[in-house]
A = this chain, B = another copy of it.
């Protein structure tokens, strides 16, 4: 079978499945609220498992609640896995995560309709608590799957509303009997909306995801002196707000100077006492640095902390820095990345090579097997937002690339 004779995925069926799943936990004004292991998540799991079984797949629920469905191959070998997650943030959209799982099932349905089997088995997985909006850390299910987090520790994790992962898994009936980490995976391909504006702005149809950025989150606490704005000469001030502002401006300049993939964001900033006529004595703010190159990310962190210390000293302000998060960049395997490029080209789709700015289960699976991702455009770059949207044609094209990529991977010698 050549590229031109590949079966085509059924676009209407894929779109209908996204709409149907989007009804579960739907918010009144649009979007969905399906925090991990809530009743809404249970409904979406039941619905997805039923759909998997209807395709003749064997469904395994493991001890951390991951759902893994197998479509048998011609040979008994580790499967090529597709997947993502079906939990959402509190005000999420219909596509983040869900698209990767449902497109995986659409690939299976297409092969099933055509009576086709691959050499290796195929699998479709939904991983528990990818979002991290109810339980920390995010990507919890895939992390346990690859052995990156002990099962007992994950089960004991307490949610923002009280109960633990283990309690909630039992309550909703998803503390499954399958051992975690089974089956062993041949390779992993995750189709996802970009969640950023780049593909749309550059008019590209498919994103060839080369890796996931490294992340360094730092919280700075500046302690100055609270003084009357009208009676304190400029030279006698110890203004925590001014120092915070200088660091925020520096962070932007640093990102532009390092260039390439360096990002810098000051997203949180809180002034105390936050009064119009009082010099702020305390400011807490965060800097989010990201880069695909870990050396450059380390350089950015070092330069930022050095500038912060110097700016604080110059104003007579105390500066404390605390690392909130640090993840090294992940490079996806050329086995998957180049197959995505090949199949997108075979379909005549325009492409862009880019890193993922957000975290995904694929970066966790990359620890144990060749992994990669396919992106489709997000309208306005919006995600984690009820207005999240990707055009039907883009959704269909992404699923077709996924079909052809896993076909090649599963049929290789």
Contact = CB atoms under 8 A, between A and B. Distances in A.
Interface of A: 194-198, 201, 213, 215, 217, 219, 227-234, 236, 239, 241-242, 244-246, 248-249, 252, 255-256, 262-271, 274-280, 286, 288, 290, 324, 356-359, 381, 383-384
15 contacts: A196-B228, A196-B231, A197-B231, A197-B232, A201-B236, A215-B230, A217-B276, A227-B381, A231-B383, A232-B381, A234-B252, A234-B262, A239-B252, A266-B280, A270-B271
5 closest A-B pairs by CB: A196-B231, A230-B357, A231-B357, A229-B265, A245-B248
B357 A236 contact: no
A198 B227 CA distance: 12
Contacts of A384: 228
Given A232-B381, A267-B278, A276-B286, 16 more contacts: A196-B232, A196-B233, A213-B230, A228-B357, A228-B358, A229-B288, A231-B383, A232-B263, A233-B263, A241-B266, A242-B252, A244-B245, A266-B280, A267-B275, A268-B271, A276-B288
A278 B356 CA distance: 15
Contact of A270 (B231, B274, B324): B274
Contacts of A242: 248-249, 252, 266
Main DSSP-derived SS at the A contact region: mixed
A99 to B, nearest CB: 16
Give the one of A196, A198, A245, A271 with max B CB within 10 A. Answer: A245
Give the one of A229, A233, A236, A252 with max B CB within 10 A. Answer: A229
A229 B290 contact: yes
A363 to B, nearest CB: 12
A265 B227 CA distance: 10
A268 B274 contact: yes
A20 B230 CA distance: 29
A234 B248 contact: no
A359 B228 CA distance: 12
B241 A269 contact: yes
Nearest to A195: B231
B274 A197 contact: no
Contacts of A234: 252, 255-256, 262-264
Given A195-B231, A201-B236, A252-B234, A280 B267 contact: yes
B255 A241 contact: no
A267 B263 contact: no
Given A230-B213, A381-B228, A384-B228, A267 B277 contact: yes
Contacts of A215: 230
A139 to B, nearest CB: 14
A176 B239 CA distance: 45
B357 A232 contact: yes
A350 B254 CA distance: 50
Contact of A230 (B246, B256, B274, B290): B290
Contacts of A274: 267-270
A271 B231 CA distance: 27
Give the one of A239, A263, A276 with max B CB within 10 A. Answer: A276
A256 B232 CA distance: 13
Nearest to A217: B276
Contacts of A269: 241, 269, 271, 274, 280
A331 B277 CA distance: 22
Contacts of A277: 217, 265, 267, 288
